[in-house]
Structure 1
Amino acid sequence: MSVQPRPWPEPDLQVASVIRAIYRGRREVPLPVQVRDRLGELFPDAVFAEAFGKAGKPGWSPGRLALVTVLQKAANLTDRQAADEVRENLAWKYALGLGLEDPGFDHSVLSEFRSRVVAHHLEERVLDLLLERLQAIDLLTSGGIQRTDSTHVVSAVRDLNRLELAGESVRAALNALCRLPGLGGPGAGGGRLEPSIWRSGGQLAAAHLQDPAGRPRARLRHRRLHTAAGRLRARLADVAA
């Protein structure tokens, strides 16, 4: 696939006319239209040219694919949904300079574009260009309010979910084994391990986070699990004998 850097085409006149008619008055125009009107050619093709060859079948504009990727992320869309927006949504056509009858591209183009960008270490250029443009038109200034990056928060929550899933799997397996003949069960002192720390609906039960004295329950849960595992090993040894 090859790319010959070219300036972005201006918004199609028919598309622009329809957009202005629909959003005339007090209605706020969609984000893609605002991006094109205020930021212009945000990602020049030349920035991404090194990720593509100079010979071969011409590919889609990498600069405009970068804009599609940004809009896709803002709308939380899959690749297929983003390709549908390019083909069907007038606001996206306006931002990309496409005509009414332009079919857009296959959704697989987005995945290939991202792979090429990452392989050539160009992923930071998208953010850099966006920040530079926002600063140039005074939409982003120094000394403003800094917001906490949610990446680390989301990552911590994901790790917690995985840890709880693993713990619940072990608990379910131990409970199932304790119900087997000769390994415990009702009346045999087998009992059950403590229930999930999650309430129905996914809410975290506060009672499982602290003991009555306000101390974290993590160590208590670990000791209980260790004790239950030791009891189970002893029962398995008795059965085997």
Structure 2
Amino acid sequence: MSLFSWLRPAAPSLPVELQQRLDRLPSPAALGECSLREQRWVVLDLETTGLNMNRDRVLSIGAVVIEDGAIDFSQQFERTLQQTALKLGPSVLIHGLGPSAIAAGSAPAEALLDLLAFIGDSPVLAFHAPFDQHMLGRALKEHLGYKLQHPFLDVADIAPLLCPQANIREAGLDDWINWFKLEVSERHHASADALATAELMLILFSRARQQQIHSPLNLQQRLSQWKRRQHSPSF
């Protein structure tokens, strides 16, 4: 046994039914060379107790699917995670999830397992994806002992990559919604924000094809090249 193994939290003990469901989940697929239209994408958004990536917790999850070049409204996901002894911060004023809604939520292990089944082997899109990826990964590890390995692409990077003329690289989701003049009826809860992000992404997929980006792998490669250029020193 490692000298430091006692520092690592023990894997959660799951009921047999949940463990069997977990064991049957498909392995995440790497981004491939199918067309952007052929790829099934899951657009994800989380509401959390705050923005501290190592202390705050996931409160709710919203997700929608883009498939065959359109949002598939028959494939939508929304869960509030039940939490106990939770001290809510100022974020409750934004997402509106109060103690009663959280107390009536789904058991976290079941909700997260439902989410993994919903995602399947698809890649994930999110606005400010590193935050959602980290927070979701922590929750999955804590409640299911599951290591998140799905590819995540950040819509907050894809937008300025494909639309440099907007000159709003550090923009939030609202800035891009306004720039494209999208009509979004609701914001600031997980399912509504996932839907808004998906609507934005449909426009960006069209821009990608115009710029000869035709596959998920190609999009990931172009995004990586763009990010390296953004961080390289300019002379």
TM-score normalised by length of structure 1: 0.24
TM-score normalised by length of structure 2: 0.25
More strand by share: 2
